[in-house]
Amino acid sequence: MKKYFRMVLVAAVSTFLLSGPAPASAADDGLMLPGTSISANVSMLNQYRWRGLDQSNTQPAIQGGFDLAHTSGLYVGTWMSNVDWGTEKNSTELDIYGGFGFELPNGVGVDLNFTAFEYPGAAASNKYDFQEYGIGLSKDFGVAALSVGFNHSPEFFGESGDAQYLQGGLDIGLPVAGAGLSAHVGHQWIDKNSTYGVDDYVDWSVGLTVPVMGVDLGLTYIDTDLEHSTVVTTLNGREGVLITSLSKSF
């Protein structure tokens, strides 16, 4: 469940796809189709949260992925992270995604995407694997960029029924090159709450990213509005937390 505050390919990827032709690289050497480019990313975090919920049993996580994009707006990618829910052997999450990004005449970026969430090593009986369809809109106003997105899963994690996620984001660049502030809020609806383990809820975050010696240092506070209920028996892994991260893109 690739870190949600990237909007699952809403704003950043749309901008990347529309930025122009691929640089002189493998494409020029005949190793890739003209107009294509490939990028990679790797991150280390003190804890992995997805839509406000703990995915690594409050332990550190190492994550990374590859993206292949074409100037037409088409893209595919894959991303991995260690995960741990403290209940059984399961140490890997693998996301495989693709989509199409384009820009409207008024400068609004549109992103249509599909993501398959896979959990190699987990027992098939747990039904962890699921898929999501998404649409995102983004607009860069210069001093700030706004984005909204909607995701739908016909059968969510653990066969918890259909689910929807509505989210919005704000990104503000700072005078220091590469530094920025971000804010996020989202609402998750799940058909079978007792199966998933939480009620429908709101998650939110605020973050700061600063480039330091060639890598990006991130500090992000994440929280939810979950409270104890007949479904939510514990708030461990659902309470507010400060996430620190080091990331690098290639």
pLDDT in tens, 185-242: 999 999 999 999 999 999 999 999 999 999 999 999 999 999 999 899 888 899 999 9
Give the model's pLDDT for residue 1.
63
Number of domains in the chain: 1
What is the rounded average pLDDT for all residues in the chain?
88
Q: What is the pTM of this model?
A: 0.87
CA proximity to 68, closest of 58, 59, 79, 55: 79
Q: What is the CATH number of the domain that holds 221?
A: 2.40.160.40
CA distances from 220 to 145, 160, 170, 204, 206 (A): 18, 29, 14, 10, 6
State whether residue 124 is helix, strand or coil: helix
CA proximity to 36, closest of 72, 12, 9, 65: 72
Q: Which structure tokens are listed for 178?
A: 């590469």
Q: How far apart are CA 183 and CA 242, in angstroms?
A: 14
Q: How far apart are CA 5 and CA 114, in angstroms?
A: 17
* Contact call for residues 62 and 81 (beta carbons, < 8 A): yes
Domain of residue 138: give its range.
4-249
Q: How far apart are CA 87 and CA 60, in angstroms?
A: 17
pLDDT band at 12 (very low <50, low <70, confident <90, very high): very low
Q: Give the tens place of pLDDT for each residue, 178-195.
A: 899 999 999 999 999 999
Q: Give the tens place of pLDDT for each residue, 55-96.
A: 999 999 999 999 999 999 999 999 999 999 876 666 799 999
